[in-house]
Chain A
Amino acid sequence: MELRPILSAMRRNKVGAVLIGVQIAVTLAILCNGLFIIEQRLALSQRPSGVDEANVFAIDNQWVGAPGDVPARQRADIEALRALPGVVDAYDTNQYPLTNSGWSESVLLDPDASGSGTLSAALYFGDDHALNTLGLRLVAGRNFEASEIGERQASDRLHTAVILITRALAQALFPKGNAVGQSIYVEGNKQPSLVIGVVERLQIPWTGAGGWTEKYFENSMIEPYRFIESDSWYMVRTRPGQLASVMKAARDKLLQIDRARLLDKIEAVSDTRIAAYRDDRGLAVILAVVCASLIGVTACGIVGLTSYWVSQRRRQIGIRRALGATRGAILRYFQTENLLIAAAGALVGIGLTVAVNLWMVTSFAMPRLALAWAGLGALGVLLLGQLAVLWPALRAASVPPALAVRDA
């Protein structure tokens, strides 16, 4: 192997080699951590909410000027929505997933417990149509019955006899898996609420990364109320493919029933999802652009410096060729040289990657990066180096042997 001449040539050109090596190290650290964050954010934004998002939309209904008998008005609205062609089901509620604003309450197994050890869960209201409207799957127990449904305003303080909880919350409260039929104490009530059913999945309204919103993202409960307020959500599920037409029909129908209302927001849940994860996606895009530019800059740097070395050594290359070195040998020389520099850089880079990640773990509570990522990244930068060096190395290989004897 022709390592020795490469090493001695490098010793003459320490600075250039170090410049490329350090570039590769920093590039590796940024690439690995950047791609790691991108992967995390994309995973976060792809968590299922539990809602049949393709076919469900929400209407923000605001009564203007405090009309009388809101309960009857809302009941009429919901009945009208359910009767619309193309509608599967509808109900009125206080919040729905992915909106990043909502209501949470404490959940206890012992009514007298306080302080640490309390769980909190997102509090959704819904009647016996809620599961069918959102498309939630009941995995144990039963749904609400019509007779159990009450009415509730934002400021009311009520106690519910029956309650539905998500599987995630059920597992947190009853690890043995026997949640149905158990009593829990919610909203600081001293009277128990009976868990009558467990739904597979219903995400909390908040989607933020890090902190409790990420840790407890499926801790939700549904209480059997219709939400009677000056500002409430009407949720509507449509038959597949009819979302757009029903959204328009629903708006017209509601305004036809009563014009004294604002319908500022009629939004498909799929659009709520896009808005909810806009920052996560934006961050991923920005990091992707930074990573791509970084690859470009590093590659250009390698091409530039190696080209310079090649032009500096044209005579020596000519002499080697004249002495019998093949084109392949010249090509291999530059490729091996680059591999040595890149490998040294990658080694330092792996250390740097881990250091940057540890800093993010301690300062920003980010998850730890698997070492495999750094290894994969190291392979990537080695490949990048080989690709970048190819063009100048080919130019070196094409130096004619005659150059050695010509008076340059």
Chain B
Amino acid sequence: MFPYYLELALRSLRRNAVLTTLMVTAIGVGIGASMTTLTVFRAMSGDPIPAKSRQLFRPQIQSRGPDGADRESEDGLQTDLSYLDAMAWMRAHQAVRQTVTYASGLTVRPADPKQKPFRADVRAAYNDFFPMFAVPFAFGSPWTHADDDDRSAVVVLTRALNDRLFGGSNSVGKTLRLGNEPYTVVGVLNDWLPIPRFYDLQVVPFGESDQLFIPFTHAIDRQLEVDGSTSCSDDRQAGFPDLLQSNCIWLQYWVELPTAADVAKYRLFLNNYAAEQQRSGRYAWPPRTELRNVREWLAYRHIVPNEMGVLMLLSFGFLAVCLLNAAGLLLAKLMGRAGDIGVRRALGASRTAIFVQCLIETGMVGLAGGLLGLLLTSLGLLAARSLLTADFVALTHLDLADVGIAIALAVTATLLAGLYPTWRAAQVQPGWQLKAP
């Protein structure tokens, strides 16, 4: 029966090409608008590291007194850490893996004299950074614990930077001049772009940034200034060495805690540390501590801009208008065919048969609308990316899930919108229609 219904539906859709086109366009435009915002929203609010987001934690300590509470955070806790606290935690080594990181910049001086020097974004980290965040390597490997301890001048490049500097070849072991100093390349990353860039949300959370990675200990030795925010209350003195002795906060800290027991142990450690700092007189208040995993951290930081919520609401409202529109047109179309339906009913078609047939016709309109919608969605994403910066729109593409959502949304929504017109069509009285002139 199904192929026959399909054929009937196609014939009927063709007969009224204008109405069909209008319906498909309405659904397509609505799906296009809503899927564009939904795709971007899904990317921005998605889980950047699904395999480990429940094992990676960001510890916090209340490093400002009740007076200096952070106005931008909902619990008044500071998001970043001072060097003193961060180094104490690194030394304590209470997690399976841990790293402190910050963003900086260095001038790259290519060996090729034809290439001009340029400034690159630098991430200072410990070697645990790479296995913790499951960073993929194309060549080489992370630097070693010994490199961290020896404060070595070693560097890991992103694939894009390696392409630019070394023509994409295996550059492990080669020398790269950063500022005035030579660095040994120990590794080259494969494509890696966590969205959002959960480990440091300060700079470009939804776009590309870090181009090269160097040991944190080495960055401190070179006194690399922080790119990002350094927040001090009153105690900053002149110069980088004083920054390291101050309570200014500027560092991001991450730990990997695979089991619930590890988490409990780490919480205990943080609380003991906080109490100890108060006893020693460094903090005049009982500092609160907090330990959030990646998902909790992203929710806490409210990284999806408000405007995305507004766009979502408006675009789904738009979809609703498009569907109401399609429902109206469908009603007109099916009722316009009351005569045909009457004849079919008179010839013995059951109500169910008519209902199913009209539903198939509706579904086909939805499918066509969904396909048009997908096309418009990819155009919409292109347009959004050319109109907005990476602060606003994640570098995102349609993935398989998005395609599935779009088609499912289009067909379901159209079927729902078509339910009433279809039901009305099935109610057509055979005799009544045949009597009419």
- Residues 44 to 97 of chain A near chain B (Cβ within 8 Å): 62, 64-66
Q: Which of B155-163, B186-194, B386-394 lies at the interface? A: B386-394
- State the main secondary structure of chain B at its contact with A: helix
A286 to B379, CA, bound (A): 12
- Residues 49 to 85 of chain B near chain A (Cβ within 8 Å): 66-68
How many Å from the CB of B241 to the closest CB on chain A? 9
Contacts of A307 in B (CB 8 A): 332
Q: Does chain A have a CB within 8 A of B115?
A: no
Are the CB atoms of A19 and B388 closer together than 8 Å? no
Are the CB atoms of A301 and B314 closer together than 8 Å? no
Contacts of B324 in A (CB 8 A): 19, 22-23, 26, 301
Contacts of B180 in A (CB 8 A): 65-66
Contacts of A20 in B (CB 8 A): 328
Q: Does chain A have a CB within 8 A of B327?
A: yes
Are the CB atoms of B332 and A308 closer together than 8 Å? yes
- Selected contact of B107 from candidates A262, A286, A360, A407, CB within 8 Å: A262
A210 to B302, CA, bound (A): 14
Q: Does chain B have a CB within 8 A of A408?
A: yes
Query: What is the 8 Å Cβ interface bit string for chain B, positions 308-343, against chain A (1 contact, 0 not)?
Result: 011101110110111011011101100110000000
How many Å from the CB of B225 to the closest CB on chain A? 7
Are the CB atoms of B388 and A278 closer together than 8 Å? yes
Contacts of A30 in B (CB 8 A): 314, 317-318, 321
How many Å from the CB of B127 to the closest CB on chain A? 28
* A155-B243, A210-B306, A305-B328 as given contacts; A290 in contact with B336, CB under 8 Å: no
A240 to B310, CA, bound (A): 42
How many Å from the CB of B119 to the closest CB on chain A? 6
A16 to B421, CA, bound (A): 10
- Selected contact of B67 from candidates A115, A188, A300, CB within 8 Å: A115
Chain B residue with the shortest CB-CB distance to A298: B321
Chain B residue with the shortest CB-CB distance to A308: B332
Chain A residue with the shortest CB-CB distance to B33: A290
Contacts of A301 in B (CB 8 A): 26, 321, 324-325, 328-329
Q: Does chain B have a CB within 8 A of A258?
A: no
Are the CB atoms of A156 and B307 closer together than 8 Å? no
Point out which of B19, B234, B307, B335 has the most chain A C-beta atoms below 10 A from its C-beta.
Answer: B307
Chain B residue with the shortest CB-CB distance to A356: B313
- Selected contact of B336 from candidates A34, A37, A293, A311, CB within 8 Å: A311
Are the CB atoms of A264 and B309 closer together than 8 Å? no
* A19-B324, A279-B391 as given contacts; A297 in contact with B336, CB under 8 Å: no
Q: Does chain A have a CB within 8 A of B239?
A: yes
15 contacts between A and B (CB under 8 A): A15-B424, A23-B321, A33-B314, A155-B236, A156-B238, A286-B311, A298-B325, A301-B328, A304-B328, A305-B328, A307-B332, A312-B336, A359-B313, A364-B306, A366-B310
Return the 4 tightest CB-CB contacts between A and B, nearest first.
A308-B332, A282-B387, A301-B325, A115-B67
Q: What 17 additional pairs, Cβ within 8 angstroms, besides A308-B331, A311-B336?
A: A15-B420, A29-B317, A30-B314, A30-B318, A65-B107, A65-B180, A188-B233, A188-B234, A282-B392, A283-B388, A286-B311, A286-B383, A297-B29, A300-B26, A307-B332, A365-B306, A407-B437
